[in-house]
Amino acid sequence: MALPTERLKSLIEAALLVAGRPLTISDLKSTVLADYPVSTRYVQLLLAELKSDYQSRGVELKEVASGWRIQARQEFAEELSRLWSERAPRYSRAVMETLTLIAYRQPITRAEIEAIRGVAVSSQMVATLKERGWVRGIGHKEAPGRPELLATTREFLDYFNLKSLEQLPELLPEAETPLAAALPLGGQQSGIPDE
C-alpha cells in the first residue's frame, strides 16, 4: 500500500520524535515503513526534505553515528538547560584530556595516555568514561601485561553530535605536537570499531 509523500514524511517525523534514540534508514524501513514499498533512496529524500523543513525552527534533524534524530538546536542549549533541575555532570580537565586522547589516538592503552599526559590515569577515570558509554575496551595490545585497548563508541559520537571521527575538530598546533611526538601511531583512526 502506498502512502502520499507528506504522510510518509509525517510518519518518519513521528517515529523520530517518539523513538528516544537515533534511527537508521534500515530501522525506519523495518518498523514504521515496513508496510510501505519505499526504497532506501526515497527514505533519504524524505529525510532531506524533513531536514529542510526544520531550517528555521528551534529543532533540527541531525544525522549522527547511530542514525537520524530530531534535536534542539545547539544555540538554545543554555536556555533549555533550565528545564532540568539536575545539572549535567561536570568532568574534570583530566577526564576530558583522557577522552580527547582516546578519541584522537584510538585504539590506545592507559600507559600510552599516561606517557602523553605525564601523569597517572586512574582506573576510576577510565571507568567513568566507560559508565558514560563514551569509551569501551576493544581488545588487548600484544605487549607485556596485554594492556586493554580503549576506543570511543557510537554513544560518544552521538553525544558530541558527530557522524564519524573525521568530524572531530582539528587539533590546535600546540596540542598536535605533543601527540605526534609521544606516539608513533600515524594519526587518527578512521571510523569507530564495530560494536
Predicted confidence pLDDT, tens digits, the chain (195 residues): 667 889 999 999 999 999 999 999 999 999 999 999 999 999 999 999 999 999 999 999 999 999 999 999 999 988 988 887 776 678 888 999 999 999 999 999 999 999 998 999 989 999 999 999 999 999 999 988 899 999 999 999 999 989 999 999 987 766 555 554 444 443 444 344 444
Other CB atoms closer than 10 Å to residue 51's CB: what's the count?
A: 15
- Residue that has been written with the C-alpha cell 563514551 in this structure: 134
Stated as kind and residue range, the H or E segment containing 40 is helix 40-53
Q: Show the 3-state SS of 132-189.
A: CCCEEEEEECCCCCCCEEEEECHHHHHHCCCCCHHHCCCCCHHHHHHHHHHCCCCCCC
| Prediction pTM value | 0.69
Q: Report helix angle 173-182 to 110-117, nearest 10.
A: 130
Nearest to 68 by CA among 40, 27, 7: 27
